[in-house]
């Protein structure tokens, strides 16, 4: 009787470990479903939207300007942030908010990216904590699953004038 | 004939079953718990690679101890290089956020380490690409710890004042 129960418990633990490891490998190396919270990416991504993120682009260093990425938060190491890549290394960035009188430019250092939310008024991003090291990027969001009214690939940035291409 | 075919089929089934258990478990272990790597370069001499190019040290990289990014002064850690995300560098943590560091060869003589950052240096000063070149590093880029500090070494470090 006891042997039966023990056997069942071991089998359950074994399956949990196995499926947990498969889930880890899938999320780490392929991609997964993510729920976003917060208003900083409106109108592209609203609060409590469910999106699909892939991690292959990050491993092959193919992140480009205009991609929406998930990264480890520079201010709180246990949480993730979801922002758009405005500049890659070497790009010239307008590093002040639109309300400042003098426009100031700065260059994104090597190995870093400049992230901004689409909702510029309500987003703590690189304008607050500076350029983010590329190594903190976890994955790229490219497809929205929920709400169904907004199902499909994500739109381009509504703030096109932030890109400075020279 | 039927008997040997059944044997092959059972063998393949067992192989696939084992494969799909062993590979994810091994990959998860290497990512989340610990892995082994070879150290290259002379920036941590004499602690690591004292033999130079003759013999590279092989070290155990422990991820589990830094899964919450809690490092102490004196730990030897591996972090993603701030200049080249494809590379990992192994350095010693000299100072934590809030500390003031006396630098060697940096543009400012004294630097206060900002919040969420750490100051790392190689033991072989002058032959090391570390915070003296690229400034404070974000503590969330730390991936593994090699060796926890024993606190007798802290006295030799260059942290002048300790915040909080």
The full DSSP string for B115-134 is TTEEEEE-SSTTS--SHHHH
Residue B149's pLDDT is 59
Cis peptide before A43 (omega within 30 of 0): yes
What tens digit of pLDDT does each residue of A101-117 get? 667 778 888 889 999 88
Q: In which band, very low, low, confident or very high, does the pLDDT at A96 lie, cut at 50, 70 and 90?
A: low
Half-sphere exposure in the Cβ direction for A101 (13 Å, CA):
0
Residue A101's pLDDT is 65
Is A40 among the residues known to form the active site? Answer: yes
Asked if B146 and B78 touch (Cβ cutoff 8 Å), the reply is: yes
Distances (CA, A) of B5 to B13, B18, B19, B68: 12, 20, 21, 52
Helix H or strand E segment including B125:
none
Q: Under 8 Å CB-to-CB from B48, ≥6 apart: which residues?
A: B39, B57, B59, B76, B90, B123, B146
Averaged over A134-142, what is the pLDDT? 89
The answer to whether B140 contacts A77, with C-beta atoms less than 8 Å apart, is: yes
Active-site residue, selected from the candidate residues A8, A37, A73, A83: A83
Active-site residue, selected from the candidate residues A37, A40, A106, A157: A40
Residue B4's pLDDT is 66
What tens digit of pLDDT does each residue of B18-66 get? 888 888 899 999 988 988 888 888 888 888 888 777 778 888 899 988 8
Please give the Cα distance from B95 to B109 (Å, whole number). Answer: 15
Q: Searching chain A, which residue's CA lies closest to the CA of residue B84?
A: A111
Nearest CA to CA, how far is A54 from chain B (Å)? Answer: 18
B82 burial via Cβ count (<10 Å: 0-12, 13-18, 19+): buried
Nearest CA to CA, how far is B160 from chain A (Å)? Answer: 25
The answer to whether B68 contacts A110, with C-beta atoms less than 8 Å apart, is: no
Q: In which band, very low, low, confident or very high, does the pLDDT at B158 lie, cut at 50, 70 and 90?
A: very low
Is A48 among the residues known to form the active site? Answer: no
Token code pair at residue A104: 């100031």
Q: In which band, very low, low, confident or very high, does the pLDDT at A10 lie, cut at 50, 70 and 90?
A: very high
Please give the Cα distance from B77 to B68 (Å, whole number). Answer: 14
Q: For tokens 């004292």, what's the residue?
A: B50
Closest in B24, B68, B69 to A21, CB measured? B24
Q: For tokens 């290394």, what's the residue?
A: A89
Task: Look up the ipTM and state it.
Answer: 0.76
**A133 DSSP β-pair partners:** A112
Asked whether the predicted pLDDT for residue B153 surpasses 50, the reply is no
Determine the straight-line distance between the first and last CA of chain A, rounded to whole angstroms: 75
Helix H or strand E segment including A120:
none
Whether chain A has a CB inside 8 Å of the CB on B51: the answer is: no
Please give the Cα distance from A16 to B136 (Å, whole number). Answer: 41
Please give the Cα distance from B14 to B24 (Å, whole number). Answer: 16
Most confident of A73-77, A90-94, B128-132: B128-132
Asked if B91 and B76 touch (Cβ cutoff 8 Å), the reply is: yes
The answer to whether B27 contacts A75, with C-beta atoms less than 8 Å apart, is: no
What tens digit of pLDDT does each residue of B89-101 get? 999 999 998 989 9
Averaged over B59-82, what is the pLDDT? 89
Token code pair at residue B125: 């000063």
Token code pair at residue A58: 């990050």
């Amino acid at each position: 009787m006891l042997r039966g129960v023990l056997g069942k418990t071991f089998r359950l633990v074994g399956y949990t470990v196995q499926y947990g490891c498969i889930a880890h490998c899938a999320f780490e190396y392929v991609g997964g479903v993510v729920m976003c919270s917060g208003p900083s990416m409106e109108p592209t991504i609203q609060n409590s939207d469910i999106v699909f993120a892939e991690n292959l682009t990050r491993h092959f260093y193919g992140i480009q300007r205009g991609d929406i990425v998930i990264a480890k938060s520079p201010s709180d190491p246990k949480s993730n942030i979801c922002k758009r890549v405005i500049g890659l290394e070497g790009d010239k960035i307008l590093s002040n908010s639109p309300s400042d009188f003098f426009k100031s430019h700065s260059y994104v250092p090597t190995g870093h990216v400049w992230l901004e939310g689409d909702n510029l008024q309500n987003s703590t991003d690189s304008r607050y904590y500076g350029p983010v090291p590329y190594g903190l990027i976890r994955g790229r969001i490219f497809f929205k699953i929920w709400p169904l009214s907004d199902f499909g690939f994500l739109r381009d940035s509504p703030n096109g004038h932030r890109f400075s291409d020279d | 004939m039927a008997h040997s075919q059944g044997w092959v089929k059972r063998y393949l089934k067992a192989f696939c079953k084992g494969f799909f258990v062993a590979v994810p478990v091994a990959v998860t272990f290497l990512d989340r718990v610990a892995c082994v790597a070879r150290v290259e370069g002379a920036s941590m001499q004499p602690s690591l690679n004292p033999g130079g190019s003759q013999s590279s040290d092989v070290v155990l990289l422990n991820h589990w101890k830094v899964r919450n990014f809690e490092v102490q002064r004196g730990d030897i850690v591996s972090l993603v290089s701030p200049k080249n995300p494809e590379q990992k560098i192994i350095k010693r943590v000299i100072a934590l956020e809030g500390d003031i560091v006396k630098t060697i060869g940096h543009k400012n003589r004294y630097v206060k380490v900002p919040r969420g950052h750490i100051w790392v240096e190689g033991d072989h000063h002058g032959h090391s690409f570390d915070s003296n070149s690229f400034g404070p590093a974000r503590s969330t880029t730390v991936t593994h710890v090699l060796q926890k500090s024993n606190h007798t070494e802290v006295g030799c470090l260059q942290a002048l004042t300790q915040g909080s």
